[in-house]
Amino acid sequence: MNAVTSALDALPPMLALVAVLVSSLVAAVVVERVVVRLLRRLGRSTENALDDIVFEELRLPLVVSAALAGVFLLTGDGGVLDALAVDAATRDALFSRPALSVLVVVWAWALNAIVNRAVDAVQDAGPRFDFAPVFSNVWTLIVIVAAAAAILSIWRIDVTPLLAGAGIAGITIGFAAKDTVANFFGGIALYFDDTYKIGDFVVLDSGEKGTVVKVGVRSTTLQTRDEVLVTVPNAVLNAAKIVNESAPGSRKRIRVPIGVAYGTDIDAFEAAVVGVAEAESLVLDSPKPRMRFRAFGDSALEYELLCWVRSPVRGSKATHELNRGIYGRLTDLGIEIPFSKLDVTLVNGAADAAAGATGQPSLGDD
């Protein structure tokens, strides 16, 4: 830098000014034609798409930085503008501060674009990252605030009154939008906990159940089996008990309770029910369907058929088809499916005593 300054001092001021401007333009062209192309080629040689995004978005700030490098040579103490008798205030107002402001803007734009494009690339990698756009919005807000603060600092604008006003406004907005803030942070917590993702079938402790079709900053939308959309605030979900029937795997085990009469050949009964399950197309072949003897009931031997279906949304239909098939098969085999019934027995002695008290004939008399 000292050698460059000495060389410029040896030239007439106007010639030095032209030399600096031309050198800046040449530097920008070199960065564009050589450095940027080299970085792009380096990015294409790797399988990672993120470095391609970084190199592409750095092109503009690198070129602008090289082009504006000459401004700081012109405006420094002992620089060309100093030799041309341009005072420091004018140099700062017309050259240094605008150049710094432009650099802040282009670098902030590039950093924001890098993160946003990286978020899009990660989101396309799988449904696990469907909530990633929230972080893109947060990053954009951070970049805007930081760039605005830097520009205000460059132009020596006192931000103390603005900070005080922003604090009061923040408190007011915080009270007014506390539910929105709670939903926002609730959504972030759900994302980090990996509670669910788009396409999962979930059941809430309030009774709602459905497929997750949208995960937003404020709320999550479920589509029920009746094709009705249910929007639930993220703050409510964060405090609720959620059963994700699609995790860790998409298949679901269903349980079909069955009762059979006492005295039934249970081996034949179990084989018949398992045969119905194995013949049902909605039931998976592995794990195999199985029967479980659960309890001796009041009027029946209580069994349970356990089998698996490919996804939670098929559970209800599979249960329907199994019930139909089991009923038909047991009917064909003559196996009784008992139902609750109440037998009332009238005892003659009690009936005669009641009749004697009232003077009426008993029900047991002919």
Residue 253: strand pairing partners: 308
Over the stretch 226-265, which tens digit does the pLDDT of each residue have?
A: 989 999 998 888 888 999 998 888 899 999 999 999 999 9
What residues have CB less than 8 Å from 49, skipping those under 6 apart?
A: 121
Residue type, 61: P
Q: How far apart are CA 259 and CA 272, in angstroms?
A: 13
Give ∠ CA 301-261-325 in degrees, rounded to 5: 90
In the chain, CATH 2.30.30.60 covers 195-244
pLDDT in tens, 129-176: 555 666 777 788 889 989 998 888 888 887 677 666 667 776 776 666
CB contact at 8 A, 260 and 292: no
pLDDT reported for residue 352: 57
| Range 286-314 burial, b when 16+ CB lie within 10 A, else e | eeebebeeeeeeeebbbbebebbbeebbb
CATH hierarchy code of domain 195-244: 2.30.30.60
What's the predicted TM-score (pTM) here? 0.57
- CA dihedral (303, 309, 312, 315) positive or negative: negative
Fold of the 252-333 domain? Alpha-Beta Plaits (3.30.70)
| pLDDT one digit per residue (tens) for the chain, 366 residues | 455 555 545 545 555 555 656 667 777 777 777 777 777 777 677 767 777 788 888 888 888 888 787 666 665 555 544 544 445 566 666 667 888 898 999 999 999 999 888 887 776 665 555 556 667 777 888 899 899 988 888 888 876 776 666 677 767 766 666 777 677 777 777 777 778 888 899 999 988 999 999 887 788 899 998 989 999 998 888 888 999 998 888 899 999 999 999 999 999 999 999 999 999 999 999 999 999 999 999 889 999 999 999 999 899 999 999 999 999 999 999 999 998 777 777 777 555 555 555 555 544 444
